[in-house]
Amino acid sequence: MKNQVPTPHIGAQYDEIAKTVIMAGDPLRAKLMAERFLTNARQVNNVRGMLAFTGTYNGKPVTVMGHGMGIPSIGIYSYELFNFYDVETIIRVGSCGARQNFIHIGDLIIAQGACTDSNYAQQYDLPGVFAPIANFDLCRQAADACEKFGYTYHVGNVFSADVFYSEDTRKNNWTKMGVLADEMEAPALYMNAARAGKRALVICTVSDHMLTGEVTTAEQRQNTFTQMMDVAFSLL
């Protein structure tokens, strides 16, 4: 919808955003992707410091952009990209906390589905509970790419909460249900994609472990989680 842009949150013109967008919570991770992967990258957004860059990867136009933290934040940015900039595909690359003993720091999680305690789906007035899931083709291609690269990966459910510092001890029950990891954005991205008839996928790197207490630093999360980027860009 060209007449809807720029939006209140994205300052780019309509033709400055590619049809495929790779997003990260940290805007500096988007900057890293632009420097590492894009040719002729140019900055197209800095509203609220949410950096976005558009360039080409192997000759294909692509935009990389931050989306902030949490379901409300990615909900806003992905909605505007899908509905106002006519973006067809959004791939989120982010960090997550492992919930299973067989998962280790640095492993990749491909979020086939996203459990949540968020009320985001209530806006659709559905007569039941919606199951937010990834685009199957993207999910399958991401798994194939991990095999090709030799990266350790796991495919399955993640849990996405509205609260980071939670006092609800029942969250540990998600581990019993086989949930692989916690992150904070996938349901909104998947629901916005479903409502708009578009494609979405979340690929995360395990940055900490709920069971062992292992953690990584902010610098490590920003600069060294590049395997998931390799996979995301291979899907273009």
pTM exceeds 0.85: yes
The average pLDDT across 209-233 equals 88
- Token output for 181: 């990891």
Across the chain, mean pLDDT equals 95
Question: In angstroms, how far apart are the furthest CA atoms of the chain?
Answer: 51
Residue 232 CA to residue 45 CA, distance in Å, equals 21
Q: What are the residues whose beta carbons fall under 8 Å from the beta carbon of 61, sequence distance 6 or more?
A: 18, 19, 20, 54, 55
Strands (DSSP E) found in the chain: 20-24, 39-45, 52-57, 60-66, 89-98, 108-116, 153-160, 181-183, 199-209
| Axis crossing angle, helix 136-149 with helix 227-234, rounded to the nearest 10 | 120
Q: What is the structure's pLDDT at 1?
A: 65
**Among the listed residues 95, 90, 11, 93, the one whose alpha carbon sits nearest the alpha carbon of residue 50:** 11
SS3 assignment, position 51: coil
What would the pLDDT profile of 75-108 be if each residue is shown by its tens digit?
999 999 999 999 999 999 999 999 999 999 999 9
- The residue from 15, 117, 208, 230 that is catalytic is 208
The DSSP letter of residue 152 is -
Question: 212 or 232: whose pLDDT is higher?
Answer: 232
CATH number of 2-234: 3.40.50.1580
What would the pLDDT profile of 107-165 be if each residue is shown by its tens digit?
999 999 999 999 999 999 999 999 999 999 999 999 999 999 999 999 999 999 988 88
Instruction: State the DSSP H helix or E strand holding residue 219, giving kind and residue range, or none if neither.
Output: helix 218-223
Handedness of CA 104, 112, 131, 124 (dihedral sign): positive
**Among the listed residues 202, 230, 225, 90, the one whose alpha carbon sits nearest the alpha carbon of residue 146:** 230
Q: Is 15 a catalytic residue?
A: no
Q: How many CA atoms lie within 13 A of 117 on its CB side?
A: 13
Q: What is the structure's pLDDT at 217?
A: 85
